[in-house]
Amino acid sequence: MYKRQVKYGISADEIAQATPLIDGAVLGVSTVGSSKIVHLNVGSQDQVAVGHVFEIFNGTTYKGQARVEIVNGNSCTARMIAVNDGTEVMQSDRASTQI
């Protein structure tokens, strides 16, 4: 069996286990300075925590990653940390911690 290399004291498998599978949707997108901010329909009631990273996509189109900065009961706000060239994050795009 293939074992992933551990470079910084924690393996990719341990990281994946630390973040629960959370699926949601983009409620809205705004721009603050040069940053794209996404508002998601999942929050602390769904086990979202500051620092969780969501993959943003629509169907088979991968759009990028957003890191959670603010968590409310049933929503959260995340900053886009990676955007796939030629795509635009929009309301109703899907978001998941694991794809």
pLDDT per residue, tens digit, the chain (99 aa), is 445 555 556 555 555 557 899 999 999 999 999 999 999 999 999 999 999 999 999 999 999 999 999 999 999 999 999 999 999 999 999 999 998
Evaluate whether 81 touches 67 at the Cβ level (below 8 Å).
Answer: yes
Structure tokens that stand for 63 in this block: 């759009």
| pLDDT given for residue 70 in this prediction | 97
Report yes or no: 96 and 23 within 8 Å, Cβ to Cβ: yes
**Amino acid of residue 94:** R
| pLDDT score at 2 | 44
Q: What is the pLDDT of residue 26?
A: 98
Dihedrals φ, ψ of 55, to 5°?
-85, 130
Single pTM value for the model: 0.82
Domains annotated for the chain, with CATH where assigned, are 21-96 (2.40.30.270)
Residue 5: exposure state from Cβ atoms within 10 A (0-12, 13-18, ≥19): exposed
